[in-house]
Amino acid sequence: MSVQTKDETATALQEEYKYWAFISYSHQDEAWASWLHKSLETYKVPRKLVGRALETGVVPRRIFPIFRDREELPGAADLGGKLKNALRGSRYLIVICSPKAAHSQWVNEEIKTYKALGREDRVLCLIVDGEPYASEKPESGLLECFPAAVRYRVAVDGSLTAERTEPIAADARKGKDGRTNAKFKLLAGILNVGYDELKQREKKRQMLHQFRLAAGVASLLLLAVLVYVAVADKGLSVPGGEGLRTFLDRHNASVLRPVRSEAEIQLKAADLRKRLLEALARGQTPEGWIASSLRPNFKREFELWSHSQALSAAFSMPDADREKQIRKFVIGLEAPFAPGLAIEKDGIKYGWISHPGETHTQAEPALWTVIALAKALGRPGLLTNEERQRAEQYMAYTQEVLRLYLPPEEDQKLGWNMFPRQKDPSEHNIYTTALALLALLEMRAAGLPWEGSIERRDALLKATAQWLISDYRPRANPPGWEAGSETTHEVIDGLTLQIYSELLRAEAEAGVTLSPEIIEQMPRYLARTVERDMKFPVTSGEFAAAIIDRDGKDSRDREAIGFLWYPWAINASVRWLSRAEQHGAPIEDRVRVRRALGHLVVDLGGEAVDKASEEWTFQDAETLFGMAAIPPPPDGGGRQK
């Protein structure tokens, strides 16, 4: 009989557990989850603790990785195999407790699944809002923060029992532990060390850090006069620094903040587009479908939403030397119109279901299909005469589908609906409306009518753009367009960048007039993207509406969407720079936006494409769509757009 050594046991445990913790939270607590995720993964464990034996392995240098479902499995609608595997492979479950989490079906399911593994003693709670056990004291008027699966034990079959538990909880609320102390309580639980010991070690480390910082500041003060201009140029906050940076940008004289040349940006973008297109080609089947994921060895599934996004991106390629590769995607235009795929009932054309396993239809698959068809029809020489005739028939059918999502126009403004047969047709959706504007712009660029009428198309385009302009929030911080859940709203970064891009195009191509607030804020917003890297968070919105389903019954549909910022920051920057040349924007604004564009494409492009080309198809497609706005190099065989 062989006996495992201590090191062998630790190694086995390391292999058993992929994650140090699984963060379970309501998507309405995204900000708390993002903070906790980053705080835990970036925490440097004191050196004297590293290597200590734990029940689940040994103390690491960093608590990494931490699993967060939105980061690892975007768009997941239920506890599928991947999510269950992540729970099984996590040493601890951290539940972000709030009234929203207490009412979340998925948070409760995650807790029950984890407890059913026999790890009830490894469930840690972080209270961010509400009150523990308030549900047992309704007269208090307070809201319960603990999900039921936290408050009660769970049987081996995953069902709740009537037996109460005493959760291990850190309280991040004001007047309680606060964020910092709550974080250290969770760390102490994960590392199996005393809270006081961890705090004392952290205090010593902070004192050493402050001492080193003070020494560094003293050295900098000695050199301040000599390096003042360099420090200001770098962007650090110094008196008069902003004025000096403006002066340098006005004369394009910055040394420490270089601006990439147009040729360098174009060459890099052409190479990145090639890699993105090749990744989409790898995901295509002989029948033309493009899988919803480009991950190696990932089970192939197909959904029309990402499929049409991929086609739209491929047909957007400005590089003429890729025409043979692009031609191979034409077969994909047939896929959505295979018999039985589009849903019709009682003479109503509902369109397509967004994701496998769902039952309700949404506007987004149809809108992306319109975009793909318009891109194909508008690309010279791409389609044969027979293919063109079929594509025009498909376009007519898809436009008929979209009648269901297009409420009557009101006062020259037109918002679109995400869900069919909404009980309140005036409950327009910001993302659907933005996507509709993109579809109308692509139809206009291809010279295609809407339901047989060019005038109707142009009227819809302008009314849709005006609705988006009227929904702008200039006093928000930062200004932009809001989305969120049924109870909270906030400016969504990726969505704002997408709408900026589309409105710039609507102004240039269709004569839409932008508001002064939008014109003023755009260059500031775009210029700030120079400070980002690929760890910059992707913000999300959750949409819901009451509908009448296909059986005539009252129902409710919802969709959570992660809005990618990277592709639309590129797309919007290119379009703003074009506008700036025509309208004579200040030179310093042009320099700053071009600097940001160069950073996004040249500095971050390789990492962005590496990630997008081996993740979900929509990430690759949107990244290619954004890159397609950059003209090809002069000697790169580009095509006019």
> Helical H runs in 473-616?
493-510, 516-527, 566-583, 587-598, 605-612
Residue 553 CA to its chain's centroid (Å): 33
Domain shared by 229 and 358, yes or no: no
Quick one: CA dihedral 442, 444, 446, 451, positive or negative?
positive
> Distance between CA atoms of 177 and 638, rounded to whole angstroms?
60
Domain shared by 222 and 358, yes or no: no
Mean pLDDT of 289-311: 90
Instruction: Judge residue 142's burial from the number of C-beta atoms within 10 Å of its C-beta, 0-12 exposed, 13-18 middle, 19 or more buried.
Output: middle
Say if 638 falls within a structural domain. Answer: no
Domain shared by 234 and 295, yes or no: no
Q: Which of 481, 574, 478 is CA-nearest to residue 528?
A: 478
Domain shared by 437 and 295, yes or no: yes
Domain shared by 237 and 298, yes or no: no
Domain shared by 111 and 222, yes or no: no
Q: Which of 113, 21, 29 is CA-nearest to residue 67?
A: 21
| Whether the Cβ atoms of residue 270 and residue 602 lie closer than 8 Å to each other | no
The per-residue pLDDT for range 584-630, each reduced to its tens digit, is 999 999 999 999 999 999 999 999 999 999 999 999 999 999 999 99
Confidence band, pLDDT 50/70/90 cuts, at residue 8: very low
Which domain-ending residue is among 193, 210, 228?
Answer: 193
Q: Considering the entire predicted model, what is its pTM?
A: 0.64
What does 560-601 look like in DSSP terms, one character per residue? Answer: EEEE-SHHHHHHHHHHHHHHHHHHT--HHHHHHHHHHHHIII
Q: Which two tokens stand for residue 370?
A: 């319109």
| Whether the Cβ atoms of residue 368 and residue 308 lie closer than 8 Å to each other | yes
Domain shared by 208 and 172, yes or no: no
Mean pLDDT of 192-217: 79
Give residue 73's pLDDT: 47
Say if 640 falls within a structural domain. Answer: no
- 482-484 and 489-491 strand pairing: antiparallel
Say if 447 falls within a structural domain. Answer: yes
3-state secondary structure of 343: strand
pLDDT at 232 over 60: no
What does 149-164 look like in DSSP terms, one character per residue? Answer: HHHEEE-TTS-EEEEE
3-state secondary structure of 480: strand
> Distance between CA atoms of 68 and 21, rounded to whole angstroms?
9
Domain shared by 242 and 268, yes or no: no
Say if 641 falls within a structural domain. Answer: no
- Torsion, CA 13, CA 15, CA 18, CA 19, rounded to 10: 30
Mean pLDDT of 37-45: 94
Give the DSSP H/E element, type plus range, for residue 358: none
Domain shared by 478 and 559, yes or no: yes
Confidence band, pLDDT 50/70/90 cuts, at residue 272: very high
Question: How many structural domains are present in the chain?
Answer: 3
> Distance between CA atoms of 289 and 268, rounded to whole angstroms?
29
Say if 634 falls within a structural domain. Answer: no
Give residue 228's pLDDT: 44
Domain shared by 291 and 376, yes or no: yes
Say if 256 falls within a structural domain. Answer: no
Residue 621 phi/psi, 5° resolution? -65, -50
Domain shared by 212 and 156, yes or no: no
Which domain-ending residue is among 193, 217, 242?
Answer: 193
Give residue 138's pLDDT: 87
The per-residue pLDDT for range 273-290, each reduced to its tens digit, is 999 999 999 999 999 999
Q: What is the CATH number of the domain that holds 273?
A: 1.50.10.10
Which domain-ending residue is among 177, 193, 209?
Answer: 193
> Distance between CA atoms of 273 and 563, rounded to whole angstroms?
20
Say if 499 falls within a structural domain. Answer: yes
Q: Which two tokens stand for residue 20?
A: 């140090």
Question: Which residues constitute the domain of residue 513?
Answer: 262-627
> Distance between CA atoms of 173 and 414, rounded to whole angstroms?
42
Domain shared by 288 and 372, yes or no: yes
Residue 65 CA to its chain's centroid (Å): 20
Q: Which two tokens stand for residue 421?
A: 């047969």
Say if 531 falls within a structural domain. Answer: yes
pLDDT at 109 over 90: yes
pLDDT at 12 over 50: no
Give residue 486's pLDDT: 55
Q: What is the CATH number of the domain that holds 140?
A: 3.40.50.10140
The per-residue pLDDT for range 386-419, each reduced to its tens digit, is 999 999 999 999 999 999 999 876 666 889 999 9
| Whether the Cβ atoms of residue 76 and residue 27 lie closer than 8 Å to each other | no
